[in-house]
Structure 1
Amino acid sequence: MKADFELYEGNAPYIFVSYCHKDKDSVLPVIESMAENGYRIWYDKGIHPGSEWPEIVAEHLEQCAVFLIFISDHYMQSQNCIREIHFAVARNKKMISVMMEPVRLTPGVEMQLCVSQALHYDQYSDKKMFYKDLYRAEALGGCKTEIPSEAPAKQAESRNPETDRKKKQEAIRAPGKAPEKKKKKKGRLILALAAAAVVVAAGAAAGWHAWNTVEIAGETYARNVSGIHIEEKTVTMDLMAQLENLDAVSSLEFTNCTFEEGTLERLKNIETLSRLELTACSGITDCGFLKNLYKLFILEMNGCNLEDEAMDIGSSLPNLHYLNLSGNPGLTDVAWLEYMPELRSLELDDNSIEDMSPAASLENLTVLSLENNRITEISEPLKALRLEYLNLSGNQIRELSGLDNLTVLIEFYLADNHYRQSEGEQESESAPEQIPVCIEESSNTLEKADLSGNGFTREDLNRMLSDCGKLTYLDIGESSKVESLDFLRNCTMLETLYADSCGLTAWNGPQKMEKLKDLDLSGNELESLEDFPVLSAENRVKLDLRNNRLTSLEGLDTGIAYDKLILYDNSLSAEDTDRTLEGMQGNVLGITYEEGLRPESLQDFDSCYIAQVPDNRKVAWEDALGYKCRFEIFPHQ
């Protein structure tokens, strides 16, 4: 389906429509109706004439007045769509979200859209009411061209060239009549009045512009702008005074700025502020200014060198729902969380936190991220029973009993905690007996899990994962003596599976994995691909089998085009490799040279990374494969 209207190209305020092209049949009727009602609209038609197209999209997004999003499952799966949201947020665009169907937002997207107006298209039985509510959105008002009503027939006739011509002929033929001479005096008077009107209008426009705009950090903003982004400036009292002149600013973002003493205290004068983001800023030695920001909904202070002493807030922030204080190694204590009882999302990555028990009392959390800290135990039960996203990777956790009451996790990350072994050792006498029960308890909801770098045994993994039928992403790399993947037989929805360096000797996993796109089995002890799964021809699969003990590729699915097929450091014969790979198609092939291997058998791959080719064979291989041939090892990704 194609929308039957011209995309707006001009200087007036317009709407940028962000949608997934797979949803065009449901989205285009909506925006076509908007265009018929006079709204100026630009959207990506999906016709990409060349590499300059992303620049064209970005340029139109940069210049739009309103960012209108049509969200669906397809939208959430599109990286290009998500990038458009990030870009719009970075440019402080006014946003309206239309939920086309029930869909689970990722924590990051939910955080970025939480202050936008949202309509649930799927919940309107009467679509007329949907359009009525949509057109009520204040942000859209400036993007509409008033459609004139039909002119009287007499007026329309006067604009008809044929009618005008006939009238002139009749006037010429009429006896005793001659065309009237122009009255020059009257014409001059009209011109003079028109010129005066132009001068008056110009003066009024200049006055309006001066009254309705504000100069801030060298940039001109409308006085009613909703968001400001300031980069690489020294924030002075004068600059803060300029910000206070804004009528309705709700979002302030500072990047690489230095705050002079006392300037942050002035934020209390911006009563409409609900979102504050400080990234890589300096001069923040006291966060007491936060106690006066009662309406604050989102707070981010990333990489600002915050110390524990700076976090003496001293007052509750009852409306704060999203907090991100990542990248502040001076933070070791989180006792100040008591002032933020309504938090929904808490991100404290890359700090030096040792005790996270104060977070246990936060009942409303759905997102908790504590990656790369110094946490050693979580024993106090978390009260956030609806926690969906939990990231504890990069700590030294040996006790996880505080997570036992979590039953609806969707994403759980525990990578590189060396839970079953001390770092650098095969096994540890102090290894905990208990496994994370929360995985087993969340088997009906869990979609993504990273358990790599913990030395979990096959028995551990079987208990945790055997019933997790909704998993789409799983990393169990560096587990201990797993031997086979039979515990994953119910995990047929997997799209990504990393099982490298697990001591695998056989597959024995699901026999059909139609959604699989990325499979890493490198660094194991596989001798054959017997019972290897059937993959979907619709996906270009990444398969890494390097550093195993394979003597044959029999069992490899040859009916698909691989995105990457990596076979280094096995014991494959040239004859078997030739027979298997000949006619196979793909993007990247990584293989170790064997005497007798023919370059012609690899010619249907776009790039061939061939290791250990003798110098006296390189010319022949280059002549056979041309630009496709590379004498290097494709990196482990």
Structure 2
Amino acid sequence: SKVLVMTDDVLLRAGGGATLPQITTLNLHGNALRKIEGLASCPSLKNLVLSFNEINSMAGLCDLSRLERVDLSYNQIQRIEGLRGLPALTALELTANMISRLEDINVLRKYAPELRELCLQGNTVGEHKSYHGLVLRRLPKLELFDQRRISAADHARASDSGAALSRALVREGAVMRRREVSEMVSTAPNCEEDTGWLASVEELVLEHRRIRRMQALEGLVCLRRLSLCDNDITVIEGLGDCTRLEELCLEDNRITQIGGLGACLNLKRLDLGSNKIASVANLEKLTALTQLALEDNEITSLEGIPCCKSLMELYLGNNRLDQLRQIQALKLLPKLIICDLSDNPLCEEEDYRHYVIYHLRKLKVLDGLGIEAAETQVAKSKYAGKLTFDLLEDKTGTQFLDHL
């Protein structure tokens, strides 16, 4: 009979008589399960079969450090997620789910670097033109993909399939102001020579193309949104004519430092998540910036952010911030109401949440959770009116304290 819920008793029965800590294989195929749960009690688990259920999320798999093979085929999963802490995962079966986003492949690259077998057949993600090459580039150790053996030559071809950002590619990803302009461009014999259409481009989206350089952007004087997510860009450049740009998305590239934004004085949203940025700098001219995303980088300091006086949303999750005192820099952001610092080492410090709530008093949301009135009251009772190192630093400056 169908079990519906993964209780300890259910896991014990499926485990073939072993105790929960001893279970290495679980098969709960076709049991109308809607949620993955209770597996933290099975730290030795290596093989997990949950096919033909009604599961809509992969949450519940985290930190199963010995898990090697997972079968979640024929469920209702929409996103690839919940894979943190699975260093041994080598095989993942997700046939016939509802996965549609190419960006989810990057989750596998980050949290399942040893993946050898992957099947995503029967998901709409496979309809993307760049699907096959992107998966092979992101998962260089794959040996079996969508039930097909992958050779070293296959990986090599995918690695060499990068595209240069040309005027033709710009035209392909451009969104125009007027339909007639778009039609004119589509019939233009040579877009490299006929450049009149460039001034009518308001949006340009070229994601998952293996683009290495930001070029051929000259003349885009009315561009308001530019998305080059999931490419191989290393330097922010070529934006000199994009003075009306309001949104720039460069998530998941290979950028090592912030720069090249001097002409983008109207920029309101900047997404640089999942790059290799170590420090926050060169933001002083972005006075209109309201949203800044820098999660999944290598940031160790918050110096440079306080110049963004209009900033309302700041995303810094999964970086290398390791001292609570570092958030003092954010006190200079008068409009900051949403802040995400999750998965930084400083989050492990005692009383982290109350400390941040007290010092960033205008915050409404911290790490994805709304701040309750009771939390604010507790934070005040712990820190208000007390002589602390942070208070001395705030009043006297770091040079005085360093001298002491």
* TM-score category of the 2 structures, normalised to the smaller one: 0.3 to 0.5
By relative contact order (CA 8 Å, sep 6+), the higher-ranking structure is 2
- TM-score (norm. length: structure 1): 0.28
Higher relative strand content: 1
Q: Which has the larger radius of gyration?
A: 1
TM-score (norm 2): 0.43
